[in-house]
Structure 1
Amino acid sequence: MLRVVVLGAAAGGGVPQWNCGCAVCQAARTDHPEIRNSQASIAVSADGEYWFLVNASPDLRQQVTDTPQLHPKPGALRHSPIAGVILTNGEIDAITGLLSMRESSPFTIYGHPKVLAILKSNSIFDVLKEESVRRVPIEVDAAFAPQLPDGTPSGLEILPFAVSGTSAWYLRGKEHPGGSASTGDTLGLKIADKASGQYFYVIAACADVDDALRQRLKGAPLVFFDGTVWRDDEMIQAGLGNKTGQSMGHIAMSGESGAIKSLADIGIGRKLFLHINNSNPAWLHASLERQTLEREGWEIPAQGMEILL
């Protein structure tokens, strides 16, 4: 059985963002605390005992505190059920939480060589000592079976695949530590339970849905998908910045080429948006945007939601 816990569903900065006074952040601070959400990450397990994180958000310490499944076992002075972290990109909101895992508990970081090169190039990640934290490269379209800290099988099989995207924002205009290869910076994951055959997809960042991706996701029982912005220019229109969703490597939820229309009518069982920016009006339960996405069969997951497959 696959168990999935949503640790956070927000994009970088969370909801509310510390310095933002937009309508969503104001609502989260005042009349609608239920929409507060930390930065995107999920935890997945095949046995309910050991867990693997998909990305390590800057909010990880609090996410672990708020998630009983990730607490140390009773009576143990030093223990964590977190056996590994699978990185889908090298953005700040995907890797910064690794620094909160520096207390010598054994786990494994799985990432594409381009993303692992980013970690290697920044000495601050050396606080994750090699003797307890292994870094294992993963390749596009090559399934791997993550292991538990003692080397035994986890029961999971994970297939990374390339999706449309960009390199980390902070590397724009700079030499990439992982070289100039065109793939590896943005991955989607198919995560399966080897015993039951149940599976789901996680695509936390995606700039475009092409026919190949539609075919891959066709009939999937569960998909977590990039929901960063409702419309491509929403940050500009709201006066919150000068970036479009596309310039950041993210598809919009709405529009003729947006995620909702692009992934309609392909038989996905359950569709949840992840990595949702604080500028996105779909956070507001009474908004037309929220009503539209729910009418189309999409959900915005609550923090702490657990899904069983």
Structure 2
Amino acid sequence: MHFLVLGASAGGGLPQWNCGCRNCEDARLGVIPPSGQSSLAVSPDGESWSILNASPDIRQQMLDCPKLHPRTLRDTPVASVLLTNGDIDHIAGLLSLREQTPFSLFATGDILNVLAKNRIFDAVNRDKVLRTPISLDQEFALQPGLSARLFAVPGKVPLFMEGDTVQTDLIGEQTVGVRLTAGDKIAYYIPGCAQVTPALLDQLSDADQLFFDGTLWDDDEMIRSGTGVKTGQRMGHISVSGPDGSVAQLAGIDAAKTFIHINNTNPMLQPDGPERAFVESAGWTIAYDGQEITI
């Protein structure tokens, strides 16, 4: 399996347009590489690609990756797009893929209903882009030679669908992880997850490669930095650090492990910082735009 990291950041990207935090300023100065909003491309052969989550930055992300350029007059090497939730940073890019070129669109029924309730997504012609609902725990062909299976992970509904009461550890079709198989290789993509449960640990036990939610370093990061008023848990994201964080909880997973969907405030983005040293010493890598991984 071949992977292209199209976007390593959480919603807003790095630098975020309205943010002057240390990471964003360093990204503007070139100290830290800028990165787009979370999206990953995967291929069984390096020629035909499936995109996992269509970020608002997808046009530039595809421009920056020659392997995703058209090969003839009207063409794309993108065979399919798969959505893992209905967040804006994962669905808005569909509107940039509306120019009448066919590909397959896969998601759970709940996620496809988010698109159906927003008429703007009708601009993506259903005659050209077939919307296929996928049941949880159902194996299906993402493209020839590449199979996928969706499974529930703790999460919440998209921000724009929240009501007065928000449950952030829902288990269902609104937030899913993806198990990918090609030949004898197995990879997982989980850009959003509120907690690591025993069921999730069991699920990941066969992983060769894991891309996992790296949004925040600790739960009150945005409050402490003055950039927000919500905790990570309130946003539906597990922290990287701490005894209940992803590094500790996933320590027993024997796979290559990569953090993706990283918020602009996360201190592990600092190349010489102790946070980055910590995650790297624990066997993790931090995704960056343009990164290529083959397993």
Q: TM-score range by the shorter chain?
A: over 0.9
The equivalent of 1:71 in structure 2 is 69
The equivalent of 1:58 in structure 2 is 56
1:265 is displaced (CA, Å) by 2.3
Q: Which runs of 5+ in 2 are unaligned?
A: none
The equivalent of 1:192 in structure 2 is 181
Query: What's the % identity of the aligned pairs?
Result: 47
1:30 is displaced (CA, Å) by 1.1
1:189 is displaced (CA, Å) by 0.5
Deviations 1:96-146 (A, max 9, x none): 000000000001110000010010111100111111011000111111112
The equivalent of 1:178 in structure 2 is none
Counterpart of 1:158 (choices 143, 148, 159) is 148
Q: Report matched runs for 1:31-42 at 5 Å.
A: 31-32=30-31, 34-42=32-40
Instruction: Answer whether contact 2:68 2:76 (CA < 8 A) is retained.
Output: yes
1:272 is displaced (CA, Å) by 0.3
The equivalent of 2:217 in structure 1 is 230
The equivalent of 1:276 in structure 2 is 262
Q: Which secondary structure does the structure 1 equivalent of 2:157 belong to?
A: coil
The equivalent of 2:228 in structure 1 is 241
Tell me: CA distance 1:207–1:182, structure 2 relative to 1, closer, same or farther (3 Å). closer
TM-score, L = length of structure 1: 0.92
Q: Which secondary structure does the structure 2 equivalent of 1:285 belong to?
A: coil
Q: Which runs of 5+ in 1 are unaligned?
A: 148-153, 176-180
In the alignment, the residues of structure 2 paired with residue 265 and residue 120 of structure 1 have an alpha-carbon distance, to the nearest angstrom, of 40
Q: Greater strand percent: which structure?
A: 2
In the alignment, the residues of structure 1 paired with residue 33 and residue 240 of structure 2 have an alpha-carbon distance, to the nearest angstrom, of 18
1:174 is displaced (CA, Å) by 7.7
In the alignment, the residues of structure 2 paired with residue 251 and residue 142 of structure 1 have an alpha-carbon distance, to the nearest angstrom, of 26
CA RMSD of aligned residues (A): 1.5
Instruction: Answer whether contact 1:35 1:283 (CA < 8 A) is retained.
Output: no
Farther off after superposition, 296-305 or 181-190 = 181-190
- 2:9 is the counterpart of 1:10: yes
The equivalent of 1:25 in structure 2 is 24
Which letter maps to 1:124? I
1:251 is displaced (CA, Å) by 0.2
In the alignment, the residues of structure 1 paired with residue 79 and residue 97 of structure 2 have an alpha-carbon distance, to the nearest angstrom, of 11
Which letter maps to 1:104? Q
Alignment: residue pair count: 292
TM-score, L = length of structure 2: 0.96
Instruction: Answer whether contact 1:145 1:155 (CA < 8 A) is retained.
Output: yes
Q: Which secondary structure does the structure 2 equivalent of 1:146 belong to?
A: strand
1:170 is displaced (CA, Å) by 1.0
Counterpart of 1:139 (choices 135, 140, 146) is 135
Counterpart of 2:163 (choices 169, 173, 184) is 173
In the alignment, the residues of structure 2 paired with residue 249 and residue 209 of structure 1 have an alpha-carbon distance, to the nearest angstrom, of 12
Q: Which secondary structure does the structure 2 equivalent of 1:144 belong to?
A: strand
In the alignment, the residues of structure 2 paired with residue 118 and residue 212 of structure 1 have an alpha-carbon distance, to the nearest angstrom, of 27
1:187 is displaced (CA, Å) by 0.3
1:47 is displaced (CA, Å) by 2.2
